[in-house]
Amino acid sequence: MERIDPQTVARYLENDVVAALRTASSSSLRSVTSQRWLDDSAAKRLIFHRLYGDVLQGPSGRTLLDVGGGLTMLTPRLADHARYTLLDPLFHETEDALATARRVSPPFVAMLQDWGEASLTDAFDLVVANDIFPNVDQRLALFLEWAIPRAREVRLSLTFYNTPRFYRSKRIDADEHLIVLAFDGARTLAALAPFADRIEGWRPELFEGDEGSCFPNGRQVVLARIKGQA
């Protein structure tokens, strides 16, 4: 496990691999939302490299399920270096963006749906969920119960706030307004704890404190690798 801090980002920027690969990639996907997020944040590029870096290095023949991974200029490279499945409703992208990704990439599978509704019978060498849990999707524990039997390895970036943060939300399936409290470190840790014996380098202390954020909104990020059962 690893907590991302400004010092880690500074060391990464001595060799910003993701930015270099972007420069060497086709510009067809440069305006898609997830690519703009990568361009705007060195911390996001570091996290991307930690989660996908070994796949980006070269063809491996591994199967990769990318949950909520979006589209970037490196989507073609992921599809070239792995048997790639993107499982993402793609709320932030257009049909044209997906069509462009298909045109400039080797063949890959795109499942435009929520992971909890996906019908998957195959197992995967690697399942990645980048910047989804536990606040874009608060079903972290349920996701791990779902993903671990389907993967040899699960990789997560986990985002939490140890200073209270909440959102005013409206259900899309009912006329109901909600106040949603973002996960803090303690709640995130509680969701992970049942799987502790599977988590590489288990360090619960990484979820404490609120110092050293790399993001303007003060969020903290911990990276985790989890042994699967597939």
All domains in the chain, ordered by first residue: 2-227 (3.40.50.150)
pLDDT in tens, 188-222: 999 999 999 999 999 999 999 998 899 999 999 99
pLDDT in tens, 128-178: 999 999 999 999 999 999 999 999 999 999 999 999 999 999 998 999 999
Burial per residue of 128-166, b for 16 or more beta-carbon CB atoms within 10 angstroms, e otherwise: bbbbbbbbebbbbbebbebbbebbbbbbbbbbbbbeebe
pLDDT in tens, 31-75: 999 999 999 999 999 999 999 999 999 888 899 999 999 999 999
Contact 194, 141 (CB under 8 A): yes
